[in-house]
Amino acid sequence: MTTMIETRMNSQTAEHVEVFAPPLKAPVASGVAVAALLAAMTGMLALAAVNQFTAISPAFNTWVHSVGKLWMPGADGIGPYSGKETLAALAWLVSWVGLHFALRDKELSISRWLMTFLVGVGIATTWIWPPVFVYFAGH
């Protein structure tokens, strides 16, 4: 809290009184929190999708591995995982920036968007769960 000194005067005396004032900083709109949640969900869904498609398509798997080798030292040692993580991080970052600017001044229901986030995380987790993954990969 901010402390201010206020002078109160009556007809005969001047009196100094300490007054507490609330901070002047405005509250942050809930849109920025929703943007962060949705961006994290997007990154997880992107990782699940890239993981699935690398199992289905050898050409896509090679391309994803080459993406990881562009910047990650030792990417040959971990294979296409380097590219999978790179693409997931790019999906997260790009979606976070875009959603932040789109939602930063909006007041949104956190509980509604938290449920959306949790459903998205559940879908991403289920998608990479071995029985589901193998079913969609056709192995």
Given this model, what pLDDT does residue 13 score?
66
Given this model, what pLDDT does residue 124 score?
97
How far is the C-alpha of 68 from the C-alpha of 62, rounded, in Å?
10
Q: Which residue has the tokens 């809290």?
A: 1
How far is the C-alpha of 98 from the C-alpha of 89, rounded, in Å?
14
How far is the C-alpha of 117 from the C-alpha of 38, rounded, in Å?
6
- Top pLDDT among 73 and 44 is at 44
Given this model, what pLDDT does residue 75 score?
87
- Top pLDDT among 139 and 48 is at 48
Percent of the chain with pLDDT over 70: 81
138, 49, 65, 77: CA torsion to nearest 10? -80
Alpha-carbon torsion 60, 124, 93, 73, what sign?
A: negative
- Top pLDDT among 131 and 16 is at 131
Q: Tens of pLDDT along 6-52? A: 556 666 666 665 666 666 666 788 999 999 999 999 999 999 999 99
88-100: average pLDDT: 98
Distance of CA 24 to the CA centre of its chain: 28
Q: Model-level pTM?
A: 0.78
- Strands (E) across the chain are located at 2-9, 14-21
95-113: average pLDDT: 96
Which strand (E) or helix (H) includes residue 11? none
* Burial (CB count within 10 angstroms: exposed 0-12, middle 13-18, buried 19+), residue 31: buried
Tokens of 48: 């699940």
